[in-house]
Amino acid sequence: MSSSKMTIFHMSDIHLGESGVHTQDFRRILDGIEKKCQEADNPLLLVTGDLTSDGLREEYEDFAREFLKIDVPNIIIPGNHDERNYGSSVFEELFGSRFKTFDNDIIALFAADSAEPDNDAGHVGRENYGRIREFFTKKDDKVKIFALHHHLVAIPHTGREHNVVEDAGDLLAVLGEVGCSLVLHGHRHVPWYWKLNDMSLYCTGTLLSRRIRGAHSQAYTRIELEEGSASFHLHEIDGTIHDFAEVQLHR
Ligand SMILES: [Fe+2]
Ligand SMILES: [Fe+2]
Protein backbone atom coordinates (compact mmCIF):
# COMPACT_ATOMS: atom_id res chain seq x y z
CA MET A 1 0.00 0.00 0.00
CA SER A 2 1.73 3.18 -1.14
CA SER A 3 -0.28 5.94 0.58
CA SER A 4 -0.57 6.48 4.32
CA LYS A 5 -3.85 8.33 3.78
CA MET A 6 -7.27 6.77 3.94
CA THR A 7 -10.79 7.93 3.12
CA ILE A 8 -13.81 6.45 4.89
CA PHE A 9 -17.24 7.21 3.44
CA HIS A 10 -19.52 6.81 6.45
CA MET A 11 -23.26 6.52 5.89
CA SER A 12 -26.04 5.50 8.26
CA ASP A 13 -29.80 5.52 8.69
CA ILE A 14 -30.87 5.14 5.10
CA HIS A 15 -34.31 3.80 6.10
CA LEU A 16 -35.38 2.45 2.69
CA GLY A 17 -39.11 1.74 2.89
CA GLU A 18 -39.86 4.83 4.99
CA SER A 19 -42.33 7.25 3.47
CA GLY A 20 -40.50 9.90 1.42
CA VAL A 21 -37.26 7.90 1.13
CA HIS A 22 -36.57 7.20 -2.52
CA THR A 23 -34.42 4.36 -3.88
CA GLN A 24 -33.30 6.52 -6.80
CA ASP A 25 -31.74 9.01 -4.35
CA PHE A 26 -29.84 6.12 -2.74
CA ARG A 27 -28.65 4.99 -6.19
CA ARG A 28 -27.48 8.50 -7.08
CA ILE A 29 -25.53 8.86 -3.81
CA LEU A 30 -23.90 5.42 -4.22
CA ASP A 31 -22.85 6.31 -7.78
CA GLY A 32 -21.33 9.56 -6.49
CA ILE A 33 -19.39 7.74 -3.76
CA GLU A 34 -18.18 5.09 -6.19
CA LYS A 35 -16.83 7.85 -8.44
CA LYS A 36 -15.10 9.61 -5.52
CA CYS A 37 -13.54 6.30 -4.50
CA GLN A 38 -11.64 6.18 -7.79
CA GLU A 39 -9.63 9.21 -6.69
CA ALA A 40 -9.57 8.60 -2.94
CA ASP A 41 -6.69 7.08 -1.00
CA ASN A 42 -7.52 3.61 0.27
CA PRO A 43 -11.30 4.12 0.22
CA LEU A 44 -13.70 2.26 2.50
CA LEU A 45 -17.48 2.56 2.63
CA LEU A 46 -18.83 2.08 6.16
CA VAL A 47 -22.58 1.62 6.70
CA THR A 48 -23.66 1.71 10.36
CA GLY A 49 -27.19 0.40 10.17
CA ASP A 50 -30.83 1.31 9.73
CA LEU A 51 -30.68 0.27 6.10
CA THR A 52 -34.43 -0.35 6.20
CA SER A 53 -37.51 1.08 7.85
CA ASP A 54 -38.94 -2.12 9.34
CA GLY A 55 -36.50 -4.93 8.61
CA LEU A 56 -38.79 -6.36 5.95
CA ARG A 57 -37.44 -8.60 3.19
CA GLU A 58 -38.71 -6.33 0.41
CA GLU A 59 -36.92 -3.34 1.99
CA TYR A 60 -33.70 -5.35 2.40
CA GLU A 61 -33.87 -6.57 -1.20
CA ASP A 62 -34.43 -3.02 -2.44
CA PHE A 63 -31.34 -1.93 -0.49
CA ALA A 64 -29.20 -4.91 -1.59
CA ARG A 65 -30.15 -4.49 -5.26
CA GLU A 66 -28.48 -1.07 -5.26
CA PHE A 67 -25.75 -1.57 -2.68
CA LEU A 68 -24.33 -4.82 -4.05
CA LYS A 69 -23.77 -3.21 -7.47
CA ILE A 70 -20.96 -1.00 -6.23
CA ASP A 71 -17.37 -2.12 -6.43
CA VAL A 72 -15.92 -0.51 -3.29
CA PRO A 73 -14.44 -2.15 -0.17
CA ASN A 74 -17.20 -1.95 2.41
CA ILE A 75 -18.27 -2.85 5.92
CA ILE A 76 -21.97 -3.02 6.73
CA ILE A 77 -23.75 -3.74 10.02
CA PRO A 78 -27.44 -3.57 11.02
CA GLY A 79 -29.32 -1.04 13.17
CA ASN A 80 -32.41 -1.28 15.36
CA HIS A 81 -34.85 -0.80 12.44
CA ASP A 82 -33.16 -3.69 10.57
CA GLU A 83 -33.85 -6.08 13.45
CA ARG A 84 -37.56 -5.41 13.51
CA ASN A 85 -39.67 -8.36 12.32
CA TYR A 86 -36.70 -10.73 12.73
CA GLY A 87 -34.89 -8.81 9.99
CA SER A 88 -31.49 -9.93 11.32
CA SER A 89 -31.93 -13.25 9.48
CA VAL A 90 -32.42 -11.41 6.16
CA PHE A 91 -29.42 -9.20 6.94
CA GLU A 92 -27.20 -12.26 7.46
CA GLU A 93 -28.51 -13.87 4.28
CA LEU A 94 -27.68 -10.79 2.16
CA PHE A 95 -24.66 -9.24 3.92
CA GLY A 96 -23.12 -11.99 6.05
CA SER A 97 -22.14 -11.63 9.70
CA ARG A 98 -23.62 -8.86 11.88
CA PHE A 99 -20.10 -8.37 13.27
CA LYS A 100 -17.27 -7.51 10.87
CA THR A 101 -13.62 -6.54 10.94
CA PHE A 102 -11.36 -4.68 8.52
CA ASP A 103 -7.59 -4.37 8.61
CA ASN A 104 -5.05 -2.63 6.43
CA ASP A 105 -1.74 -0.85 7.09
CA ILE A 106 -3.54 2.25 8.40
CA ILE A 107 -6.57 1.16 10.43
CA ALA A 108 -7.95 -1.76 12.40
CA LEU A 109 -11.74 -1.58 12.47
CA PHE A 110 -14.17 -3.69 14.49
CA ALA A 111 -17.84 -3.22 13.59
CA ALA A 112 -20.43 -4.61 16.02
CA ASP A 113 -24.15 -5.20 15.86
CA SER A 114 -25.58 -3.17 18.76
CA ALA A 115 -29.23 -3.92 17.95
CA GLU A 116 -31.55 -6.62 19.26
CA PRO A 117 -34.78 -8.00 17.79
CA ASP A 118 -37.73 -5.63 18.20
CA ASN A 119 -35.86 -3.44 20.69
CA ASP A 120 -34.82 0.11 19.82
CA ALA A 121 -32.29 0.29 22.67
CA GLY A 122 -28.62 -0.43 22.04
CA HIS A 123 -26.67 -3.31 23.56
CA VAL A 124 -23.27 -4.83 22.70
CA GLY A 125 -22.86 -7.22 25.61
CA ARG A 126 -20.04 -8.53 27.77
CA GLU A 127 -19.99 -11.77 25.77
CA ASN A 128 -18.41 -9.73 22.94
CA TYR A 129 -15.78 -7.86 24.97
CA GLY A 130 -13.29 -10.75 24.66
CA ARG A 131 -13.28 -10.74 20.87
CA ILE A 132 -13.06 -6.94 20.77
CA ARG A 133 -9.99 -7.05 23.06
CA GLU A 134 -8.45 -9.87 21.04
CA PHE A 135 -8.97 -8.09 17.69
CA PHE A 136 -7.21 -4.91 18.82
CA THR A 137 -4.26 -6.73 20.41
CA LYS A 138 -0.87 -6.01 18.79
CA LYS A 139 -2.26 -3.32 16.48
CA ASP A 140 -0.73 -0.30 18.18
CA ASP A 141 0.78 0.90 14.89
CA LYS A 142 -2.73 1.42 13.42
CA VAL A 143 -5.65 3.74 14.09
CA LYS A 144 -8.09 1.59 16.08
CA ILE A 145 -11.70 2.20 15.12
CA PHE A 146 -14.89 0.77 16.63
CA ALA A 147 -18.14 1.09 14.65
CA LEU A 148 -21.70 0.40 15.76
CA HIS A 149 -25.20 1.68 15.12
CA HIS A 150 -26.12 3.20 18.49
CA HIS A 151 -24.42 6.00 20.39
CA LEU A 152 -22.29 5.53 23.51
CA VAL A 153 -22.75 9.09 24.79
CA ALA A 154 -25.95 11.12 24.57
CA ILE A 155 -26.19 13.44 21.54
CA PRO A 156 -27.50 17.02 21.88
CA HIS A 157 -30.55 18.27 19.97
CA THR A 158 -32.15 14.83 19.94
CA GLY A 159 -34.60 15.20 22.81
CA ARG A 160 -34.99 12.99 25.83
CA GLU A 161 -32.35 10.26 25.98
CA HIS A 162 -33.59 6.67 25.90
CA ASN A 163 -31.51 4.71 23.39
CA VAL A 164 -27.89 5.01 24.53
CA VAL A 165 -26.15 1.60 24.55
CA GLU A 166 -27.21 -0.15 27.78
CA ASP A 167 -23.66 -1.27 28.56
CA ALA A 168 -22.06 1.97 27.31
CA GLY A 169 -19.94 2.46 30.46
CA ASP A 170 -18.41 -1.01 30.37
CA LEU A 171 -17.92 -0.89 26.59
CA LEU A 172 -16.22 2.54 26.76
CA ALA A 173 -13.87 1.14 29.41
CA VAL A 174 -12.98 -1.81 27.13
CA LEU A 175 -12.41 0.53 24.16
CA GLY A 176 -10.24 2.82 26.29
CA GLU A 177 -8.23 -0.13 27.56
CA VAL A 178 -7.45 -1.42 24.03
CA GLY A 179 -6.46 2.05 22.78
CA CYS A 180 -9.39 2.66 20.45
CA SER A 181 -9.09 6.22 19.15
CA LEU A 182 -12.22 6.57 17.01
CA VAL A 183 -15.84 5.42 17.44
CA LEU A 184 -18.15 5.80 14.44
CA HIS A 185 -21.91 5.42 14.72
CA GLY A 186 -25.31 6.67 13.57
CA HIS A 187 -28.84 6.24 14.97
CA ARG A 188 -29.48 9.79 16.19
CA HIS A 189 -29.85 11.39 12.73
CA VAL A 190 -27.74 14.35 13.88
CA PRO A 191 -24.05 14.81 13.05
CA TRP A 192 -22.08 15.31 16.27
CA TYR A 193 -18.64 14.84 17.70
CA TRP A 194 -17.46 14.18 21.27
CA LYS A 195 -13.96 13.85 22.64
CA LEU A 196 -13.73 11.51 25.63
CA ASN A 197 -10.27 11.00 27.14
CA ASP A 198 -8.17 9.74 24.20
CA MET A 199 -11.22 8.70 22.14
CA SER A 200 -13.15 10.64 19.48
CA LEU A 201 -16.80 9.64 19.02
CA TYR A 202 -18.51 10.68 15.80
CA CYS A 203 -22.20 10.42 14.92
CA THR A 204 -22.98 10.81 11.23
CA GLY A 205 -26.42 12.12 10.30
CA THR A 206 -29.11 10.25 8.42
CA LEU A 207 -28.48 9.62 4.74
CA LEU A 208 -32.08 9.79 3.58
CA SER A 209 -34.64 9.65 6.41
CA ARG A 210 -37.05 12.56 6.58
CA ARG A 211 -36.76 12.38 10.37
CA ILE A 212 -34.00 14.96 10.46
CA ARG A 213 -33.75 17.43 13.32
CA GLY A 214 -33.54 21.21 13.40
CA ALA A 215 -31.51 22.78 10.61
CA HIS A 216 -29.71 19.55 9.68
CA SER A 217 -30.02 18.01 6.23
CA GLN A 218 -29.64 14.41 5.05
CA ALA A 219 -25.96 13.64 4.50
CA TYR A 220 -23.12 11.17 4.58
CA THR A 221 -19.68 11.89 6.02
CA ARG A 222 -16.34 11.70 4.24
CA ILE A 223 -13.63 11.05 6.81
CA GLU A 224 -10.05 11.75 5.77
CA LEU A 225 -7.41 10.01 7.88
CA GLU A 226 -3.89 11.35 7.54
CA GLU A 227 -0.85 11.61 9.78
CA GLY A 228 -2.72 10.90 12.99
CA SER A 229 -5.60 13.27 12.31
CA ALA A 230 -9.16 12.79 11.11
CA SER A 231 -11.25 15.40 9.31
CA PHE A 232 -15.01 15.03 8.92
CA HIS A 233 -16.80 16.51 5.89
CA LEU A 234 -20.58 16.38 5.53
CA HIS A 235 -21.89 15.73 2.01
CA GLU A 236 -25.50 16.84 2.01
CA ILE A 237 -28.16 15.42 -0.27
CA ASP A 238 -28.22 18.59 -2.42
CA GLY A 239 -24.45 18.32 -3.07
CA THR A 240 -23.37 20.93 -0.51
CA ILE A 241 -20.22 20.01 1.41
CA HIS A 242 -19.54 21.28 4.97
CA ASP A 243 -16.25 20.81 6.81
CA PHE A 244 -17.56 19.60 10.15
CA ALA A 245 -14.60 18.87 12.44
CA GLU A 246 -10.93 17.96 12.55
CA VAL A 247 -9.42 15.98 15.41
CA GLN A 248 -6.03 14.61 16.39
CA LEU A 249 -6.19 10.87 16.86
CA HIS A 250 -4.48 9.14 19.72
CA ARG A 251 -2.35 6.12 18.81
FE1 LIG B 1 -32.30 5.64 12.14
FE1 LIG C 1 -31.50 3.60 14.68
Give the range of the structural domain holding residue 174, as residue numbers without chain letter: 6-248
Q: For the chain, list residues with pLDDT below 70.
A: 1-2, 251
* Separation of CA 11 and ligand 2 centre (Å): 12
> Would 206 be classed as within a structural domain?
yes
Ligand 2 ion: nearby residues, β-carbon < 5 Å: 50, 79-80, 187
Q: Which pLDDT value is given to residue 67?
A: 98
> Would 129 be classed as within a structural domain?
yes
Q: Tens digit of pLDDT for each residue in 205-219? A: 999 999 887 778 999
Q: Which pLDDT value is given to residue 230?
A: 97
**What 3-state DSSP class applies to 142?**
coil
DSSP 8-state code for residue 66: H
Please report, for the domain that includes residue 153, its CATH number: 3.60.21.10
Q: Which pLDDT value is given to residue 2?
A: 52
* Separation of CA 39 and ligand 2 centre (Å): 31
Instruction: Please provide residue 11's backbone torsions phi and psi, each rounded to the nearest 5 degrees.
Output: -125, 155
3 with 42: CB under 8 angstroms?
yes
DSSP string, 173-218: HHHHHTT--EEEE-SSSS-EEEEETTEEEEE---SS-S---TT---
> Would 128 be classed as within a structural domain?
yes
> Would 143 be classed as within a structural domain?
yes
Helix (H) or strand (E) holding 146: strand 143-147
Q: Residue 8's closest CA among 85, 75, 93, 77?
A: 75
**Dihedral sign for Cα atoms in the order 91, 96, 99, 102:** negative
> Would 136 be classed as within a structural domain?
yes
* Separation of CA 122 and ligand 2 centre (Å): 9
> Would 1 be classed as within a structural domain?
no
* Separation of CA 81 and ligand 2 centre (Å): 6
Instruction: Indicate the number of domains in the chain.
Output: 1
* Separation of CA 150 and ligand 1 centre (Å): 9
Q: Which pLDDT value is given to residue 1?
A: 45
pTM recorded for the entire structure: 0.97
> Would 190 be classed as within a structural domain?
yes
* Separation of CA 50 and ligand 1 centre (Å): 5
